[in-house]
Amino acid sequence: EPEVTQTPSHQVTQMGQEVILRCVPISNHLYFYWYRQILGQKVEFLVSFYNNEISEKSEIFDDQFSVERPDGSNFTLKIRSTKLEDSAMYFCASSERDRVDYGYTFGSGTRLTVV
Amino acid sequence: QQQVKQSPQSLIVQKGGISIINCAYENTAFDYFPWYQQFPGKGPALLIAIRPDVSEKKEGRFTISFNKSAKQFSLHIMDSQPGDSATYFCAALGSGNTGKLIFGQGTTLQVKP
């Protein structure tokens, strides 16, 4: 079964440093998403991306965050200057269309720890 | 209101019993309601989903009941098994055609042997 692949699985970074979280969506998918989950809490939407631009972002997704699809296969989330409260699991997802019933699939996540 | 409220926060069920998790929403523009299962260290995996024009959907031991007028929906797990022990999230597809999912707070289910 096709998978969304995320790397690294765990990243530790110093406060104030930049981090890039990487995702390889399913190959024929056109819609891409980032979510985060603070330990023990619900999964929260960060951003959706289609046709090389952001289609929606949450209030969490401030100027410190950016997304990019640098080539035909990768989808990245950059946090410019990490804060302690950015520590969370970050999940990438992709879908064929903007519908859950079109193969909307989550990756296994990257655990980001900011120290 | 872009919220989905889920209860209970945790649930302990004996093997063979029925697990019931409830969710409520306010935004009538939501038009798709999936349930996700999450094991520790893994991403959410789609379990079952329903549209608001259907009152019930069953897939194996998993059933969603949907009450559009009350704006509530629930997941029933029949004959619960220890392998069902996981965190379950209800969700709603946000309005606006951006694929945004709004998740409930999650329910940690433990099925005792």
pLDDT, tens digit (0-9, with 9 covering 90-100), for B89-99: 999 987 677 88
Per residue in B101-112, pLDDT tens?
A: 999 999 999 999
> CB B106 to CB A108 under 8 A?
no
CA dihedral A11, B43, A46, B69 (to 10 degrees): -160
Q: A42, B46: Cβ pair inside 8 Å? A: no
Size of interface A-B (CB pairs under 8 A): 71
Residue A14 has, within 13 A of its CA and on its CB side, a CA count of 2
Tokens linked to A50: 């289609």
| Cβ-contact A57, A76 below 8 angstroms | no
Secondary structure letter of residue A38 according to DSSP: -
Is B16 a residue whose pLDDT tops 80?
Answer: yes
pLDDT tier, A104 (very low <50, low <70, confident <90, very high otherwise): confident
pLDDT (0 to 100) of residue B25? 95
Average pLDDT of the segment spanning A4-33 = 95
- Contact yes or no for B111/B85 (Cβ under 8 A): yes
| pLDDT, tens digit, 9 for 90 and up, residues A20-73 | 999 999 988 989 999 999 988 899 999 999 989 999 999 999 999 999 998 878
> Which among A1, A115, A19 is positioned nearest to A66, based on CA atoms?
A19
What average pLDDT does the segment B76-99 reach?
Answer: 91
DSSP conformation letters of chain B: ---EEEE-SEEEEETTS-EEEEEEE--TT---EEEEEE-TTS--EEEEEE-TT-SEEEETTEEEEEETTTTEEEEEESS--GGG-EEEEEEEEPSSSS--EEE---EEEEEE-
Residue A99 predicted with pLDDT over 80: no
Between chains, do B41 and A95 touch, taking CB under 8 Å as contact?
Answer: no
The pair of three-digit structure tokens given for residue B51, joined into one six-digit string: 């549209």
Find the chain A residues whose C-beta atoms sit closer than 8 A to any C-beta of B. 4, 31, 33, 35, 41-45, 48, 50, 55-56, 91, 93, 95, 97-101, 104-109
Alpha carbons A28 and A86: distance in angstroms, whole number: 31
Rounded Cα gap, residues A38 and A114, in angstroms: 12
Task: Select from A66, A106, A68 the least CA-distant residue to A90.
Answer: A106
Residue B100 above 80 pLDDT? yes
Contact A45 B97 (CB under 8 A): no
> Which DSSP letter does residue A93 get?
E
Question: How large is the average pLDDT for residues B59-72?
Answer: 95
Confidence of residue A103 (pLDDT cuts 50, 70, 90): confident
* Whole-number average pLDDT of chain B: 93
Q: Do B98 and A48 touch (CB under 8 A)?
A: yes
Res A5: pLDDT: 95
CA-wise closest residue to A89 among A58, A48, A43: A43
Tokens of A65: 């965050």
For residue B29, name the pLDDT band (cuts at 50, 70, 90): confident
What distance lies between CA B59 and its chain's CA centroid? 13
